[in-house]
């Protein structure tokens, strides 16, 4: 009910596709100019609405990938082959095409850059998208909160933001990036390959500060597993914020 009340105060806005970045063979980032955009917090999302010529309409929710930047925002869309919306957004939508958006939505899974407490971000697959917004906001705002991103993905072919993550890992103090490959690593990969487990999480995250904030996003099974691992390593449940996706009544 609270979510419905919030949505009732939001209006649909019409954005225009300014540019795209191809992230992987099945994912692209939409760079949108949205007049009237009120701004957002990293971790929030938007609803996207598509309407056919016959009046049929359908909506999907997508996390915002970018740091706040005036009326411009970015959405990274992972294509689902049997999806109803994502194939259009990743293969058909072209520069200068309009797109209806409503948002920003959500306040629980959001990071405030003025907060100086340590932050641990753990993403599985496209669950890295809202976490990337937090990383980018921390950099853009000149924040000082120690931040670590642990990103679990199947292989180098599915790695989102590959070049940017490499630059971040090499050039920002107190902002660490670790990639966990679950099926295959790069040709010169010397690390482990497999699902994130308690031992690897302890090795990557190290000793948690008493006030560490944890944000975990990804498929339902991944999120539940990581939350259990964190609690098993001494993190209190109230320090862990989660956002998950999985089978539902519709497809993206």
Question: What is the rounded distance in angstroms from the CA atom of residue 243 to the CA atom of residue 132?
Answer: 14
Domain ranges of the chain: 2-105, 119-245
Top-level class of domain 2-105: mainly beta
**Among 14, 18, 15, which residue's Cα sits nearest to residue 95?**
18
- Lookup: tokens for 180: 């966990």
pTM, rounded to two decimals:
0.93
**Among 158, 147, 155, 28, which residue's Cα sits nearest to residue 95?**
28
**Among 145, 153, 147, 192, which residue's Cα sits nearest to residue 168?**
147
Tens of pLDDT, residue by residue over 1-32, are: 333 334 446 899 999 999 999 999 999 999 99
Question: What is the rounded distance in angstroms from the CA atom of residue 94 to the CA atom of residue 57?
Answer: 19
For 119-245, CATH gives 3.40.50.80
Q: What is the mean pLDDT of the chain?
A: 92
In angstroms, how far is CA 16 from the centroid of its own chain?
21
Give 175-238 as a DSSP string: EEEEEEESS---TT--S-BS---HHHHHHHH-SPPTT-EEEEEEEHHHHHHHHHHHHHTT--GG
Residue pair 44/66 in contact by the 8 Å Cβ criterion: no
Q: What pLDDT shows up at residue 9?
A: 65
Q: What pLDDT shows up at residue 246?
A: 62
Tens of pLDDT, residue by residue over 222-245, are: 999 999 999 999 999 999 999 998
Tens of pLDDT, residue by residue over 126-141, are: 999 999 999 999 999 9
- Sequence-distant (6+) residues with CB within 8 A of 221 are 246
Work out the average pLDDT over 145-164.
97
């Amino acid at each position: 009910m609270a979510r419905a009340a919030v949505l009732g105060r939001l209006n649909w806005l019409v954005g225009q596709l300014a540019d795209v970045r191809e992230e992987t063979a099945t994912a692209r980032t939409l760079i949108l100019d949205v007049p009237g955009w009120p701004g957002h917090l990293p971790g929030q999302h938007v609803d996207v609405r598509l309407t056919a010529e016959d009046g049929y309409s359908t909506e999907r929710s997508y996390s915002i990938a970018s740091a706040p930047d005036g009326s411009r925002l970015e959405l990274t869309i992972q294509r689902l082959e049997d999806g109803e919306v994502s194939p259009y957004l990743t293969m058909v939508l072209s520069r200068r095409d309009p797109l209806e958006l409503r948002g920003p939505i959500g306040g629980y899974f959001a990071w405030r850059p003025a907060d100086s407490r340590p932050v641990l971000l753990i993403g599985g697959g496209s669950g890295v998208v809202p976490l990337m917004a937090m990383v980018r906001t921390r950099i853009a705002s000149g924040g000082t909160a120690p931040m670590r991103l642990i990103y679990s993905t199947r292989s180098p072919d599915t790695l989102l933001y590959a070049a940017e993550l490499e630059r971040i890992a090499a050039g920002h103090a107190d902002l660490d990036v670790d990639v966990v490959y679950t099926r295959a690593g790069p040709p010169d990969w010397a690390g482990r390959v497999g699902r994130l487990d308690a031992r690897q999480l302890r090795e990557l995250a190290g000793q948690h500060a008493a006030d560490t904030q944890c944000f975990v996003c990804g498929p339902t099974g991944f999120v539940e597993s990581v939350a259990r691992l964190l609690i098993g390593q001494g993190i209190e449940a109230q320090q862990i914020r989660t956002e998950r996706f999985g089978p539902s009544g519709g497809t993206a």
